[in-house]
Amino acid sequence: MADLQIDNLKEEYKYGFTSDIDTETIAKGLNEDVVRLISAKKGEPQFMLDFRLKAFRHWQTLEQPKWAHLNIPKIDFQDIIYYAAPKKADKLASLDEVDPEVRKTFDKLGIPLDEQKALSNVAVDAVLDSTSVRTTFRKTLSEKGIIFCPISEAIQEYPELVQKYLGKVVPYTDNFYAALNSAVFSDGSFVYIPKGVRCPMELSTYFRINAMKTGQFERTLIVADDDSYVSYLEGCTAPMRDENQLHAAIVEIITENRAEVKYSTVQNWYPGDKNGNGGIYNFVTKRALCRGERSKVSWTQVETGSAITWKYPSCVLKGDGSVGEFYSVAVTNNYQQADTGTKMIHLGRNTRSTIISKGISAGRSQNAYRGLVRVAENADDARNYSQCDSLLIGDKCGAHTFPYSDIHNPTAVVEHEASTSKISEEQLFYCNQRGISTEEAVGLIVNGYARDVLNKLPMEFAMEAQKLLQVTLEGSVG
Partner 1 sequence: MLSIKNLHAEIDGKEILRGINLEIKAGETHAIMGPNGSGKSTLSAVLAGNPMYNVTAGEVTFNGKNLLEMTPDKRANEGIFLSFQYPTEIPGVSMTNFMRAAVNSKRKYQGLEPLSATDFLKLMKEKRQIVELDSKLASRSVNAGFSGGEKKRNEVFQMAMLNPSLRILDETDSGLDIDALRVVAEGVTALKTKENATVVITHYQRLLDYIVPDYIHILYHGRIVMTGGKELALDLEKRGYDWIKEQFKD
- Judged by the rule CB under 8 A, the positions of this chain that interact with partner 1 are 1-2, 421, 424-427, 429-438, 440, 444-445, 448-449, 451
| Residue 433 C-beta: closest distance to partner 1, Å | 5
User: Considering the complex, what minimum distance in angstroms separates the CB of residue 443 from partner 1?
Assistant: 9
Smallest separation (angstroms) from partner 1 to the CB of 316: 32
Judged by beta carbon, residue 1 or residue 459, the one nearer partner 1 is 1
Q: CB nearer to partner 1: give 2 or 93.
A: 2
CA–CA gap between residue 260 and residue 198 (Å, rounded): 9
φ, ψ (nearest 5 deg) of residue 324: -120, 140
Q: How big, in percent rounded to 5, are the helix, strand and coil portions of the chain?
A: 25, 35, 40
b/e per residue 248-258 (b: at least 16 CB within 10 A): bbbbbbbbbbb
Is the torsion defined by CA of 208, 210, 211, 215 positive or negative?
A: positive
Sequence letter at residue 1 = M
Task: Tell me which residue of 293, 300, 407, 298 sits closest to 351, measured CA to CA.
Answer: 293
CB of 466 to partner 1, least distance (A): 11
Compute and round to an integer the Cα radius of gyration of the chain: 22
Q: Which is nearer to partner 1, 38 or 454 (CB)?
A: 454
From the CB of 231, what's the least distance to partner 1, in Å?
26
The answer for 272, left when phi > 0, alpha when psi is -120 to 50, beta otherwise, is left
Q: How far is the CB of 477 from partner 1 (least distance, A)?
A: 11
Nearest residue to 476 (alpha-carbon basis) of 3, 1, 10, 2: 10
Of the pair 120, 432, the CB lying nearest partner 1 is at 432
SS3 231: strand
Task: Provide φ and ψ at 265, rounded to 5°.
Answer: -125, 135
Q: Smaller CB distance to partner 1: residue 17 or 429?
A: 429
CB of 439 to partner 1, least distance (A): 10
Of 100 and 448, nearer to partner 1 (C-beta) is 448
What is the closest distance, in whole angstroms, from the C-beta atom of residue 397 to partner 1 in the complex?
A: 19
* Cα pseudo-dihedral 300, 305, 310, 312, rounded to 10: 0
- 8-state DSSP, 109: T
Find the DSSP H helices in 202-329. Answer: none
- Considering the complex, state which of residue 173 and residue 438 has its C-beta at the smaller distance from partner 1: 438
Q: CB nearer to partner 1: give 404 or 430.
A: 430
Torsions phi, psi for 207 (to 5 deg) = -100, 130
